[in-house]
Chains A and B, each alone.
Chain A
Amino acid sequence: MTAVEARPDNATEIGRDRRRKEDARLITGRTRWTDNINLPGMLHLAMVRSPFAHANITGIDTSAAESSEGVVAVLSAKDFDESLGACINAWPITPDQKTPDHPPIAGDRVSFAGEIVAVVAARSAAAARDAAEMVEVDYEELPAVVSLEEAVKDEVLAHPDLGTNKSALWVFDSAQAGTGGSVDDAISTARQDGIVIERTYRQQRLIPAFMEPRSVVCDPTGEQITVWSATQIPHILRFALAATTGVPESKIRVIAPDVGGGFGGKLQQTPEEMLVFAMARRLGKPVKYTETRSESLMAAHHGRDQIQKLTLSATKDGQVTGLKVELDANLGAYVAIVGGGVPVLGAFMFNAIYKFPAYQFNCQTVLTNTAWTDAYRGAGRPEATYAIERLMDELAVEVGVDPLEIREKNWINHEEFPFTTVAGLTYDSGDYATATAKAKEMFGYDELRREQAERRANNDPVQLGIGVSTFTEMCGLAPSRVLGSLDYGAGGWEHAQVRLTPTGKVEVITGASAHGQGHETAFSQIVADRLGVPFEDVEVLHGDTQIAAKGYDTYGSRSLVVGGEALVRAADKVLEKAKPIAAHLLEASVEDLEFTGGKWTVKGTDQGMSIGELSTAVFAAHNLPDGVEANLDSEATFDPENFNFPHGTHLCAMEVDTETGQVKMRKYVCCDDIGNIINPLIVAGQVHGGLVQGIAQALWEDAVYDDAGTLVSGSFVDYLLPTAADTISFDIDHTTSPSTTNTLGTKGVGEAGTIASTPAVVNAIVDALRPMGVNDVAMPCTPERVWRAINEGSAGGGTTDAAAPHFDPSTGMSGTADRPEGDVQ
């Protein structure tokens, strides 16, 4: 048995661009995706799904399917009892919220196209799918309500027995909350002698579209029932399974193995998970279900889908005085696990980095006969950021100044931090001026403005637009007390454990469950520095409720800022435990010891012991101080007192062909402030990927239903994920305002790019077209919408009209859709 050498004094892991530990298996195919799991005797499920958005089920004939070769069972709702459990809504946003029951399988009535009505178990996936096609379901179609605009009228009801489509009205008012003045007073004052800007923006429906389709395996053999799921939230899934099926939590083990992306889309307790769990218990055999991409697009939760009615008031010289938000949010057919909470997360962010004296936010959540919506990267904050950053551009035009100037006039100055906003949050730190100055320099702002002026003067058919987004966000979900005050059904802490093996290796157990974010690498760096052990000697274990018993999982840019802090505290407890043992073994008094460079040393001597040597000594336990236990392992649970608030300045240059409506990204620059950076390589990756998801909302992605409630964009042919050829390379940099809410001074970065980039792109397109009288282009800014905006003076038409014209005679039924060109240099 050999203990490891302590790391050299001068090495520091934090801030180093370590290549990822995860990659060795991912680049060689040595992966364990849920669908890779094969168990002896395993059965495969296929789901029979409703093709109708709203219908009564009048009969299900399973006889043909049952007699199909290899089929073990064909079941519908009547075959299950309450042990099937239910899909939960963890965040009823008001006490009187209307929440339809959400069984995993529909009984008498389906309320969106894609809802499960029967389930087939067979010896192979192919046999199950073959048999699923033989299940005869009789439907009596009911009128479906699809769009927000229709749903709020309450003429057609998504759930007739509820009597209304309106689920909950959630209001924040700064005058009532005591955090600011009356917004109505501010607006009426501005109507007399100031500026009032009124706009309606649409946040189109998006699909998270993680690359790995969802998959669930359940093995009921053995004492604990083991569930593998492609999920972001193994701990919450275990809780929900236990809470709704009656199976004790202690009998359920949930494992999230390698998970191929989530972006909020796997922050869910799904009907498929519940049915796999029930079928495995019923059949006594391991069961697997893997969705097809079409099923994923149709029945995994969607995101966004809001209409924002906005009123901003300001003085004549552009000092903002009030902001009123009236938001309608489409929940889809059910109130999902976070569901109505998503727009509420945006409630605190509309005021953004600006010093509004009065603010009011009204959010009406609405049920429709569409796939349910829930978190998608940013969850509430991209929508808020889009609204305010578009409005600030409009205000700049009204006042007649540069969009950066109007922002500077209104933003919180560096010396004003910590700053309590009109929404009642206290921003920890930030320096908007420095980030903006740096971004402008990287961008060549003045030069591009000059080029824009030239193109305008020359009547160039290709105009240049410059878009600005000076965003902030709240991340690090979340202080449990704050969640409690918002009626969320759970907490927001995170848990970590640090274990020492006899040979001096370190096992780190975290309740955060990664799916591409690089926790194994970044967390190793943190612990390596803290304990003074080599990076390679740290093993990060996660995503299995029997190993990482406690946790709240990964979403909301929380893993590092909440989970990382738990890790720091657990590691510090290891050092506290180690100190008296080190003193004993070094025959020194505790007061004479210091911990430097990974070693306990006796001051003024060259005597010392590393954590590795100590863990070997503790394992043997031959010579410990009296009354000290033979164990250095420690754990910590960290509940943040506050969120933290990353920010940044994003600048985007778009070329717009005014003759065709085609847009082309010329340049994108961002300077983000996310506090201290653990691994710049991972941070850059998060920013790049986030940017493209936000840019994709601005330019391409749109989940479109037809009037009957059929998802038109139900495959990757129709739902436009950007490709490498559509996108450009980015220039990114950072300023550093360390967070004051965690020891490492870090802020979240997982969602920042997505939150910031959408308004930067649309602002750029609108900026290019201002001289033509255009003040809005609806998202996604397809060439058709841009062309209409130029030629018809509208925002370019509604989402449905301008969506990719699939099966439209005018496009020869070809289903083609326009793509703006990517700029490739």
Chain B
Amino acid sequence: MAKNNDVWQGDNMTRISMRVDGMKVADDVEPRTLLVQYLREGLGKTGTVIGCDTSNCGACTVHLDGESVKSCNVLAVQADGCEVTTIEGLAEVSTGSTTESGLHPVQEAFRECHGLQCGFCTPGMIMQSVDLLNRNPQPSEEEIREGIEGNLCRCTGYHNIVRAVQYASRNATGQSGARSEEVDAL
């Protein structure tokens, strides 16, 4: 893997190691390096993106030891010794069942319900939705809307993102027949 200057430059380097999408990694980083910068520039995990500089948009959301964090709001050194899951490793790493297409059920739900358009917020939105459903497998619409409030989307108006989370929730709790119902609701 090509080492990028952003991460390896500077006098005061700190050694960190972590497991990212199941892969064990260790590097020297500048202490100021953000986790999202380390993921993108150090590890080439460009599926995780940067949408703002004030931790408002949530596009960079990943899981740190199984819980969602905005990776622009975490220093890489803070993730030392942790398990990080990004959108790229979600389907493989998740202990739950993947769908026939090899996707995590929430990824599948976003596709099924047209819960994305340009797709830039989508990695963060999916990671946050997975975390939401982990904590609350059967959320109400209100709980969904509040649960993803920290993730901005400019394309969908959130309507179909909410439907996607509902769809994933219904499928996970074994209520079948969701597809035709969703299609009507869209």
Contact = CB atoms under 8 A, between A and B. Distances in A.
Contact of A689 (B40, B87, B117): B117
B138 interface: no
Contacts of A27: 87, 103, 107, 110-111, 116, 119, 122, 126
A725 interface: yes
Interface stretch (A17-25, A329-337, A592-600): A17-25
Nearest to B32: A126
Contact of A730 (B47, B107, B111, B159): B159
Contacts of B111: 19-20, 23-24, 27
A261 B110 CA distance: 18
B46 A31 contact: yes
A261 B114 contact: no
Nearest to A230: B120
Contact of A26 (B88, B119, B148, B186): B119
A518 B156 CA distance: 12
Interface stretch (B4-12, B63-71, B74-82, B168-176): B4-12
B48 A211 contact: no
Interface in B14-29: none
A237 B4 CA distance: 30
B50 A824 contact: no
A685 B117 contact: yes
A36 B154 contact: no
Contact of B91 (A28, A258, A689): A28
A691 B157 contact: yes
B93 interface: no
A688 interface: yes
Contacts of B114: 19-20, 681-682, 684-685
A515 interface: yes
Contacts of B56: 715-717
A517 B45 CA distance: 25
Contact of A516 (B46, B117, B140, B161): B117
Most chain B CB within 10 A, of A23, A36, A211, A688, is at: A211
A176 interface: no
A294 interface: yes
Q: Which of B6, B46, B56, B159 has the most CB of A within 10 A?
A: B159
B35 interface: no
A689 B6 contact: no
Q: Among the interface residues B146, B150, B157, which one has the most CB atoms of the partner chain A within 10 A?
A: B157
Contacts of A127: 5, 9
A712 to B, nearest CB: 14
- Interface range for B: 35 or more
B118 A515 contact: yes
Contact of B47 (A31, A35, A211, A263): A31
Interface string A62-81: 00000001100000000000
Given A293-B54, A825-B141, A689 B157 contact: yes
Contacts of A292: 53
Interface string A1-42: 000000000000000010110111111111101011010000
A124 interface: yes
| Residue of A125, A210, A292, A724 contacting most chain B CB atoms (<10 Å) | A724
A123 interface: yes
Nearest to A32: B46
Taking chain B's interface residues, is the majority helix, strand, or loop, or is none over half, making it mixed? loop
A212 interface: yes
Contact of B9 (A19, A35, A70, A688): A70
A721 B4 contact: no
B84 interface: no
B29 to A, nearest CB: 11
A126 B9 contact: yes
A590 to B, nearest CB: 43
A794 B110 CA distance: 45
Contact of A29 (B48, B150, B156): B48
Contacts of B116: 23, 26-27
A211 B159 contact: no
Contact of A824 (B45, B88, B142, B159): B142
Interface in A733-747: none
B86 A29 contact: yes
A36 B57 CA distance: 19
B5 A70 contact: yes
B157 A23 contact: no
B83 interface: no
Contact of B52 (A517, A686, A716, A723): A716
A293 B51 contact: yes
A211 B153 contact: yes
B171 to A, nearest CB: 15
B145 A822 contact: yes
Interface in B121-173: 121-123, 126, 140-142, 144-146, 148-162
Interface string A194-212: 0000000000000001111
A724 B46 contact: no
B107 A688 contact: no
Contacts of B30: 126
B52 A293 contact: yes
Nearest to A729: B159
Nearest to B9: A124
Given A28-B107, A123-B9, A261-B117, 12 more contacts: A28-B47, A29-B47, A211-B152, A260-B118, A263-B154, A516-B118, A688-B156, A690-B157, A715-B54, A715-B56, A723-B151, A825-B141
11 contacts: A23-B111, A28-B103, A28-B107, A33-B49, A35-B50, A127-B9, A211-B153, A212-B120, A293-B57, A684-B160, A689-B154
